[in-house]
Structures are given as C-alpha cells and as structure tokens.
C-alpha cells in the first residue's frame, strides 16, 4: 500500500495507498445514503484490518467516511439486524464478534485516527473510540453519541468500557445513560475528541495530526487539547470500589426519577460501566456482551426498535413513490411560508420554519397579536441558546427570516400557507377566502386544525384540491408528530407537497383520512372521556393519574386535560360526539369544562389541579374548590379494584384505535402506534396501544370491554374478528426460547 501499489478495494472499505507511511481507510457503503455497520460490513472490516496490519510500511491509519454529502460518518449498527435477533446467545455472540474486530483496530501497531464528519453514533462512535485519536469537523451535523439505551439495549462493541476509560466514569455516565449525542465542541471539551477542525480541512488536518503523533510518542502522544484533568476527589471515587458503588447508587436514583422502572437498559448500561471499570478491558467487554444478549431479545427492545424503524421510514418517505398529479408542490428552501395567526402555535411555527431554512411571514388581525408572536419566537430561541442548541449569533440571522403584518402583503410569493387561527370553522373559512385571492395557483393551503372537517373547509374553497390538513402538536418545536389530513378532494400532489414540507421540518408525518378528530384526538378522546367519568364516579384523580404514569405515560389523563386546556378539551369532545355518535358522548363534567374562564387548567393556574406549586411530595395539589363545586370531597374517594385503570382507560383507547383502522383513517396498525407514541407519549416501551393489545392478547381486551357492561364500550368488529381468527394486529414474534 505504498505509493507503488494499487488501492485495495472492497465492497464498503477502501484502503488508499500510503503516503509517507500514512494511509486512509475510507468507509462508503454502496447503495446506502448513510454508512452503517452490518454483520457483513464488520466481517469485511476484519479482513481489511488484517491486510493493513500485514503492511509494515503503514505507520498511521486514518479512518474516514466516504459520504460527506449525507452528513454521516457512521450512523451506527444495522438496526434491522438487532430487530431480527431472537436468541440471547446469538445476540451475545454478535456483540463479542464486533468487539473482537474493534479490538483488532485498537491493537494495531500503526497510529489510528478517526476523522469524523457528520453523525458518529452507536457502533460508529464505538469504532471511533477504538482508534487512538479522534478528530471532528466543526460542522452542525457532526455529533458523537451512544444512543443505544433509547432502543432498549446498551452499547455492545465496547462503548461502555472505552468511553469511561477515556474521559472518566462521571463524564461518560450522562452520555451513555441518556443516549444524547455531543456536538463537536462539547466532545472536545470532555476529551472525547482531540481536535476540531474546519470541514474542508479534515483530511489534511488528520494527516498532519498523525504525522505529529508519529514524530512524538506515537500512540502515547497527547495533544494539548485533550481534557485529562479531573478533580482529586473524582479520581478517588472512580478508582475505588466504594467510590464507584456510591456513584452507581446516585445514578440509579436519577434513572428511577427520569425513566422509572420500565426501561432496563439504563440500569444495565450503568452496571456495565461501573462494574466493568473495576475489571480488565477484556473482562469488561465480556460483561457488556452478556448484558447486550439479555436486553436485545426483550420485548422492550423489540418495541422500541419497531417504533424507531417506523418513525425513520415515515421521516424518509418513499423515494420511489408517486409524485402526485397536479401542479401543487412543496416550497423551496429559502422560500416564503405564510402563517395565518401569530399566537403560540403561529409563533412556534415561524421559529421552526426559519430554523429549517425558510422565510416566515406571520399575518394576524392586530399589531398586538404580531408582537405576541414575536415574543413566542424570542422565548423559543432564548431557550435554545440557554440549552446550548443554538449560538447567539444565529438568532440574529434567523430573526431576519421572519416578518409580520396585519395584511396579506407578500403572500403572493408564498410557497405554502399554514392557517393556525382559532378552532372556529367560520373564522377559518373567512381567512381561507381572503388569502386564496393572494396565492399562486400551485400553492397549498394547510389548516392546522386539531379536529375540524377538512371537507367542510374545501366546500368553501375556490380551489378545494389545494386544501389539506397539517396538524402540528403543541409545543411545535418539541413534538415530532404531524398529522397530514387528506380531504375528499385533496389532490395527490397537494398531499405529497405537505408531507414533503413536514419532513423538511424534521417531523414525522402520518397520513390520515379526514374525519372527526382525525386519529390522535379521536383515540385520545375515548381515554379522556373515561377518565372524567371515573372522577364523576368518585375515584381519586391523583391516584388515577399516578397509576397511569406508573403504566408508562408521561402524565395522567386529568393532568393532560389541564395541559391542553379545559375549553379546548370540551370543544374537541363535542366535535367527536357529533361525528362518532353515542359511543363518544362526553360525560357531563367534561361537557361543562371551559365554562369558567378562570379555571381552564395550566394556562389559568387552576384546573383539576392547582399549578402554582406542589405539595411536600412534589405532587400537584388538587383544586378542592372545583371538586366541591361538582359535589366531590377530596377526602372521600373510592378505592379502585385491581386493574381498573387499564381496563377503563387503556382498553377504550385500543377499541377506538381499532374503529379508526376499520374506518381506514390510517392504513396500518403501525401508523396508529407511531402516532400515539409521538403525538401523546403513549408508553414507548409498550410499542403503542395496538402493540400493547397484542402483548396482552386481543381476547383479554374484548373480554375486559364486555365485562364493563357499557354499550359505549362494545368491542368493534375488528377486535372480535381478530379473536375469532386467533390473530393480532401484527404478525407474532418468535419467542426467544424457540
């Protein structure tokens, strides 16, 4: 591999001829937009490393990605292979095999450097950690991370062992236990990378770095930038068994507080790090692989992997799919997006579209409303700066992309218009008719309605084929889901345009047929109706909400109503009742919510709970006045029977989700689960309501609903048919013991 030899080409790895003893190993996986480490790629790397090691003229090796345009160094392991493994020993063996190949990289006589440009995640980060040094590009998409716990497993190619040894146990814990990636500058500060350079000079800088290392102490070379110093106390804790045990106990409390009992991966990752730190590297790697084997075959891992793969497919779309007939098209980057309404949602959308490279123009009826929109934008940007997600200098550039007005000036050049005014059909029709006269013929009008009929809006439009729904969830800057609603006359081209736009914002679009509440609010409505009925029947709101949090939801149903707002919840309940009939009839208490403008939930400080503070246990206090008003004493609540909360709250969600599938609101069970996980926070480790139904048995759900003896909870035909055919919503998974 010296200058006189030809390059050694393989399917994914190319070893470039060495110059002055330094060679580049380029990873460019054919036929894929991003590099990922499949079993075949690992085997290939093994053979290539043998070839490099046999050439004694190679004294330095730079591992670099060949997909600069995709912004990815190595995206990680092949998730589909993790999904497929069902045998614990097989999973352990795959981890051990990956570890062995990366150990071969780490033990090479040549000085090795990982040149990182773009995402360096999971197995990719572990490969980089197996190198002697790491250089990262100062590029917005360059991130180093070990996100495996988010998929229900732990790093299995040495990450739990090498990262603590490199930067210290205390610094490694939050990286591995949360799965959140580091940007290049943060990684440099922590010592996870040794240099950060301009993207255009990554190759030259990597070569120069290797040359300096070779001229210095080789593998023992230590650049000035490497963060090595830790406090004496921290070094004591990390180097002694009692100290590590203390760190582990503190971390376990934090894990319990943040993720509860349902996610075993963070606990196992902590075990691998703490126990492994007291072992040799080889012993620690064996422990890591053993724990990977236990986790990889669990239902939690499979559910999280399924949700991840489904969400990635939705974000990616179908590159070979139909483009749709008609002239409607998505706006170009840098183009103008018109926003009708400058409230919380309008301001949030303006901030988002500006961050994603568009220009935003907010229109509202008064200067005061426009000012409120700008205040919301400022709040969002300041929050991102405080969290280190954005530089102060970026805010100035982004604000230059945003404008506001009380008329439609400038809307003639808009590439898309999003309506985000109040949930009142007559007002929506009025702004539609006003703006249609200003828009070019190809422009789509997307209504950000949560429940109102797209068909009725189309009936008022001059160009009904260009009307679609684009339901963002609040807060729009954090919630990943967007329901893309197809009205009966929406053209294919218009649907493709709004889906393409949603993806360009980094959102997960789920296509829904027009109908009452679309998908998420329809399914959620059944859940909230039953929650309020339980309050009417005398059950404790606090006990109910805690039970549902224990089930895995981010908050209880009454806490959710307080967050949404009592006025909004009661209005949506009425819409669902009109559209779905008697099974969606809201309880009297829910219908009456919103009647008192001072008791609307969090936005007024009072709802089912008082939102000004918490009790000594850190819980919200019940609003005693509200319960007295409805004739309920907070000291005399009924005691629930075992399993009541799941039977009364979760089973109706499953039933309504099945009704939505029957009505073809969405195409597949996976669409339902994706929407409910990312739109409502339905316990991800359970895989969504329909995956959960499969796990407990459809028959149990049907029997549970029938056992309640309420006509509104009669199981839908789809559930009955699945029981009769002994099937579920999904094909059965293989049992790990099979």
Task: Identify the H or E element spanning 487.
Answer: none
> CB–CB of 328/501 below 8 Å?
no
Strands 8-9 and 13-15: antiparallel
Q: How is 676-723 classified by DSSP, letter by letter?
A: HHHHH---GGGTSHHHHHHHH-HHHHHHHHHHTT-GGGPPPHHHHHHH
Backbone angles phi, psi at 637, to 5 degrees: -75, 150
Q: Which residues are CB-contacts of 389 (< 8 A; sequence separation ≥ 6)?
A: none
- Tokens 């800088």 — which residue? 205
102: Cα within 13 Å, side-chain hemisphere: 28
Instruction: Give the residue among 366, 615, 358, 635 at the shortest CA–CA distance from 500.
Output: 358
Q: Which of 471, 566, 577, 611 is flagged as catalytic?
A: 471
- The answer to whether residues 675 and 508 touch, using CB atoms and an 8 Å cutoff, is no
Give me 545's structure tokens. 């909400």
Q: How far apart are CA 86 and CA 307, in angstroms?
A: 17
Residues in contact with 176: Cβ distance below 8 Å, sequence separation at least 6, in sequence order? 146, 149, 154, 155, 159, 160, 163, 269, 273
> DSSP assignment of 542-559, as one string?
HHHHHHHHHHT-SS-HHH
Q: Cβ atoms within 10 A of the Cβ of 610, count?
A: 18
Cβ atoms within 10 Å of 57's Cβ, excluding its own: 13
Distances (CA, A) of 154 to 104, 191, 215, 463: 21, 22, 38, 52
DSSP code of residue 407: S
CB 493 within 8 A of CB 329: yes
Beta strands 336-340 and 182-183: pairing type? unpaired
Task: Tell me the torsion sign for CA atoms 430, 433, 438, 444.
Answer: positive
The encoded tokens of residue 72 equal 């990815």
- Select from 470, 495, 474, 493 the least CA-distant residue to 483: 470
Strands 111-116 and 60-65: parallel
The partner residues of 348 in beta bridges, in order of sequence, read none
- Enumerate the H helices of 159-239 as residue ranges: 159-167, 169-178, 184-190, 202-215, 232-239
Q: 363 and 404 in contact (C-beta within 8 Å)? A: yes
262 is catalytic: no
| Listed residue (32, 4, 36, 29) closest to 14, CA to CA | 29
Question: By the 8 A CB rule, do 413 and 438 touch?
Answer: no
Question: CB within 8 A of 714, min separation 6: which ones?
Answer: 583, 705, 706
CB 116 within 8 A of CB 103: no
Q: Is 27 left (phi over 0), alpha (psi -120 to 50) or beta?
A: beta
Q: Measured between alpha carbons, how far is 267 from 255 in angstroms, rounded to an integer?
A: 7
**What residues contact 130, with CB distance under 8 A and at least 6 apart?**
102, 103, 105, 106, 112, 157, 158, 162
Beta pairing, strands 195-197 & 133-137: parallel
Active site residues: 471
């Amino acid at each position: 591999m010296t200058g006189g030899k030809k390059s050694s080409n393989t399917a994914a790895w190319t070893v470039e001829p060495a110059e002055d003893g330094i060679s580049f190993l380029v990873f460019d996986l054919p036929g894929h937009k991003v590099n990922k480490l499949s079993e075949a790629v690992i085997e290939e790397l093994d053979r290539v490393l043998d070839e490099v090691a046999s050439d004694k003229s190679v004294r330095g090796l730079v591992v670099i990605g060949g997909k600069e345009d995709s912004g990815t160094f190595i995206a990680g392991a092949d998730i589909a292979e993790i999904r497929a493994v069902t045998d614990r020993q097989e999973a352990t063996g795959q981890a051990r095999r990956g570890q062995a190949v990366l150990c071969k990289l780490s033990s090479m006589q040549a000085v090795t450097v990982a040149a990182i440009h773009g995402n360096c995640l999971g197995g990719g980060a572990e490969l980089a950690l197996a190198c002697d040094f790491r250089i990262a590009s100062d590029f917005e998409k360059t991130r180093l991370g070990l996100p495996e716990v988010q998929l229900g497993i732990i790093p299995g190619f040495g990450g739990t062992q090498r990262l603590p040894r490199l930067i210290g146990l205390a610094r490694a814990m939050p990286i591995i236990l949360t799965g959140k990636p580091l940007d290049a500058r943060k990684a440099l500060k922590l010592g996870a990378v040794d240099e950060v350079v301009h993207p255009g000079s990554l190759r030259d800088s990597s070569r120069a770095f290797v040359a300096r290392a070779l001229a210095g102490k080789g593998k023992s070379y230590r650049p000035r930038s490497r963060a090595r110093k830790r406090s004496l106390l921290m070094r004591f804790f990390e180097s002694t068994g009692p100290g590590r045990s203390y760190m582990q106990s503190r971390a376990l409390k934090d894990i319990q507080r943040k993720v509860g009992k349902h996610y075993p991966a963070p606990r196992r990752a902590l075990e691998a790090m703490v126990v492994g730190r007291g072992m040799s590297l080889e012993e620690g790697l064996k422990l890591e692989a053993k724990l990977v084997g236990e986790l990889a075959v669990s239902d939690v891992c499979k559910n999280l992997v399924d949700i991840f793969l489904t969400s990635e497919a939705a974000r990616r779309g179908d590159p070979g799919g139909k483009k749709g007939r008609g002239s409607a098209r998505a706006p170009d980057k840098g183009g103008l997006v018109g926003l009708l309404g400058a409230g919380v949602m309008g301001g949030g959308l303006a901030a988002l579209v500006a961050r994603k490279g568009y220009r935003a123009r907010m229109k509202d009826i008064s200067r005061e409303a426009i000012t409120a929109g700008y205040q919301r934008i400022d709040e969002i940007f300041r929050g991102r700066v405080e969290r280190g997600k954005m530089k102060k200098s970026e805010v100035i550039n982004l604000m230059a992309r945003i404008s506001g007005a009380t008329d439609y000036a400038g809307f003639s050049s808009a590439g898309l218009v999003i309506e985000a005014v109040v949930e009142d059909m007559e007002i929506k029709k009025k702004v539609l008719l006003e703006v249609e006269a200003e828009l070019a013929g190809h422009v789509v009008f997307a209504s950000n309605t949560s429940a109102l009929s797209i068909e009725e809006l189309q009936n008022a439009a001059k160009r009904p084929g260009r009307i679609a729904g684009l339901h963002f969830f609040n807060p729009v800057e954090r919630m990943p889901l967007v329901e893309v609603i197809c009205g009966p006359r929406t053209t294919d081209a218009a649907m493709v345009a709004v889906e393409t736009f949603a993806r360009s914002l980094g959102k997960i679009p789920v296509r829904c047929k027009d109908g009452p509440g679309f998908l998420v609010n329809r399914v959620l409505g059944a859940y909230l109706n039953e929650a309020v009925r339980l309050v009417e029947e005398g059950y404790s709101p606090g006990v109910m909400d805690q039970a549902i949090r224990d089930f895995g939801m981010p908050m209880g149903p009454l806490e959710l109503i307080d967050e949404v707002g009592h006025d909004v919840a009661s209005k949506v309940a009425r819409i669902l009742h009109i559209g779905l009939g008697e099974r969606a009839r809201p309880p009297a208490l829910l219908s009456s919510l919103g009647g008192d403008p001072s008791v609307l939930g969090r936005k007024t400080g009072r709802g089912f709970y008082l939102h000004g503070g918490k009790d000594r246990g850190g819980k919200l206090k019940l609003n005693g006045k509200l319960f007295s008003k409805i004739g309920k004493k907070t000291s005399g609540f009924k005691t629930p029977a075992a399993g009541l909360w799941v039977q009364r709250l979760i089973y109706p969600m499953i039933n309504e989700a099945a009704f939505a599938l029957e009505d073809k609101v969405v195409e597949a069970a996976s669409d339902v689960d994706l929407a409910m996980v990312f739109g409502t926070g339905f316990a991800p480790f359970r895989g969504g309501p329909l995956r959960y139904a499969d796990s407990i048995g459809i028959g149990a759900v049907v029997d549970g609903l029938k056992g309640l003896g309420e006509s509104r909870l009669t199981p839908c035909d789809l559930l009955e048919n699945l029981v009769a055919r002994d099937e579920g919503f999904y094909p059965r998974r293989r049992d790990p013991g099979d």
